[in-house]
């Protein structure tokens, strides 16, 4: 079974430039998450989707960040314009059931997209 | 406020030297506590879920335990391939809240 796929793996941009990250979750997983992970820290939730609906975006900086999940499958996270402090790893995860975790409590993570803003 | 604190931040072990990692939490009504392993440049990989105080789970050289205030991840006779960052997380409504992790380095 294919895992969560993210691209690009690495992105280097100059500040004020836009950037987009793409995520393809595990087939059949209706819940999709975008997490932000700073160096030496644990992942922090940015946004959660149930199918195509963003049901928790309270931690998403909406002035510069946007996300979409068309048709309830793939998702894109965009930053425009990027700032120096946005340098981090952006992790996508998916899970099977509506409570935010499968029966084993597992979120399946992709390998992440590492952003460097110069 | 719900909080997860892991200690120590880093742990250096000799191969075969057993040790424990701590995860303390303050959560109203714990729904589940999770342990993940994260290798450099990779996403977190699920290890265990614990749901109630007294519960224990094992996988190879790892054993996770849970009390009402904290969880321990015991590493018995570690090998270099056990080197990784170990993250714990508590299940809140519809999301996991992670600690900062403990980075374990096992030297041969």
pLDDT in tens, A12-29: 999 999 999 999 999 988
Q: What is the pLDDT of residues B91-101, one digit of tens each?
A: 887 778 899 99
Interatomic CA distance for residues A5 and A3, integer angstroms? 6
Model confidence at A8: pLDDT above 90: yes
Residue of chain A whose Cα is closest to the Cα of B88: A42
- The predicted structure's pLDDT at residue A105: 61
- The predicted structure's pLDDT at residue A75: 97
- The predicted structure's pLDDT at residue B5: 96
Q: CB distance B98–A42 less than 8 Å? A: yes
Structure token pair of residue A14: 């100059």
Please classify residue A115 by burial: count the beta carbons closer than 10 Å to its beta carbon, then call 0-12 exposed, 13-18 middle and 19+ buried. Answer: buried
Q: Let me know: does B72 contact B23? Beta carbons within 8 Å.
A: yes
Interface probe with B: pick from A5, A99, A107, most Cβ of B within 10 Å: A107
* CB-nearest partner of A56 from B4, B94, B98: B94
Q: Cα B88 to the chain's mean position, in Å?
A: 5
CB of B42 within 8 Å of a chain A CB? The answer is: yes
The percent of residues in chain B predicted with pLDDT above 90, rounded, is 83
- The predicted structure's pLDDT at residue A1: 66
Q: Which residue has the higher pLDDT, B96 or A86?
A: A86
Q: What is the pLDDT of residues B9-52, one digit of tens each?
A: 999 999 999 999 999 999 887 889 999 999 999 999 999 999 99
pLDDT band at A70 (very low <50, low <70, confident <90, very high): confident
Cβ-Cβ contacts under 8 Å, A112 against chain B: 41-43
- List residues bridging with A14 in a β-sheet: none
CB of B94 within 8 Å of a chain A CB? The answer is: yes
Q: CB distance A108–B42 less than 8 Å? A: no
Q: Please provide the DSSP assignment of B38-95 as one string.
A: E-TTS--EEEEEE-STT-EEEETTEEEEE-SSEEEEEE-S--GGG-EEEEEEEEETTE
């Amino acid at each position: 079974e294919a895992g969560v796929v993210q691209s690009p793996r690495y992105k280097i941009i100059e500040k004020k430039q836009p950037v987009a990250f793409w995520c393809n979750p595990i087939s059949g997983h209706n819940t999709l998450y975008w997490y932000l992970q700073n160096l030496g820290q644990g992942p922090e939730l940015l946004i959660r989707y149930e199918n195509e609906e963003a049901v928790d975006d309270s931690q998403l900086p909406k002035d510069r960040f946007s996300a979409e999940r068309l048709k309830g499958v793939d998702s894109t996270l965009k930053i425009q314009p990027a700032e120096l402090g946005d340098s981090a790893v952006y992790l996508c995860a998916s899970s099977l059931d509506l409570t935010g975790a499968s029966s084993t409590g597992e979120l399946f993570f992709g390998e992440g997209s590492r952003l460097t803003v110069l | 406020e719900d909080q997860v604190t892991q200690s120590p931040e880093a742990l250096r072990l000799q191969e075969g030297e057993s040790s424990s990692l701590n995860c303390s939490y303050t959560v109203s009504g714990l729904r589940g506590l999770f342990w993940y392993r994260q290798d450099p440049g990779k996403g977190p990989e699920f290890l265990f879920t614990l749901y109630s105080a007294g519960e224990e789970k094992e996988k190879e050289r790892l054993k996770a335990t849970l009390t009402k205030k904290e969880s321990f991840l015991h590493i018995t006779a570690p090998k270099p391939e056990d080197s990784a960052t170990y993250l714990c997380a508590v299940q809140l409504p519809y999301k996991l809240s992670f600690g900062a992790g403990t980075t374990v380095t096992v030297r041969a």
